[in-house]
């Protein structure tokens, strides 16, 4: 068993505090994945909204590859396969579209 201490200026009850800590570590986990798998910390993009846009694209790519289950491999192998195979990218996008991934999670982007 380990003991961890957290400090916050928020005046919230224990249940809300546990929820906030859980959400914090979910975000940290996503950032770790983006840095380790997408090398996000090494990005030199700094102008305007470009960094946010590229970060969003990387998050979407990470989620698409992670959710695609037909090719049983780690994210590193999936990224390499996507880099050399347009057929694989088409399979990933088609599978996600068939599951309603794009329409439900990004409905504000598909409206015309």
Spell out the domain ranges in the chain.
Answer: 14-110
What residues have CB less than 8 Å from 64, skipping those under 6 apart?
Answer: 92, 93, 96, 101
Stated pTM of the model: 0.56
Q: Is the dihedral of CA 98, 104, 88, 75 positive or negative?
A: negative
Question: Per-residue pLDDT tens for 15-51?
Answer: 999 999 888 888 888 778 777 777 777 778 878 888 8
Tokens of 71: 């090719």
Residue 102: its pLDDT value, please? 52
pLDDT at 101 over 60: no
Percent of the chain at pLDDT above 70?
88
Nearest 5 degrees, angle CA 67-CA 69-CA 72? 125
Task: Determine the Cα–Cα distance for residues 106 and 111; give it in Å rounded to an integer.
Answer: 9
Structure tokens at 4: 């961890």
**In this predicted model, which residue has the larger pLDDT, 16 or 62?**
16
């Amino acid at each position: 068993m380990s003991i961890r201490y957290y400090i916050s200026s928020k005046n919230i009850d224990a249940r809300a505090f546990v929820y906030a800590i859980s959400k914090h570590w979910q975000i940290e986990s996503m950032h770790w994945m983006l840095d380790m798998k997408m090398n996000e910390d090494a990005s030199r993009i700094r102008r305007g909204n470009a960094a946010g846009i590229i970060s969003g694209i990387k998050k979407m790519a990470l989620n698409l590859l992670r959710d695609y289950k037909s090719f049983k491999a780690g994210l590193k192998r999936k990224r390499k396969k996507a880099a050399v195979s347009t057929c694989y990218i088409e399979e990933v996008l088609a599978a996600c579209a068939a599951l309603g991934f794009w329409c439900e999670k990004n409905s504000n982007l598909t409206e015309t």
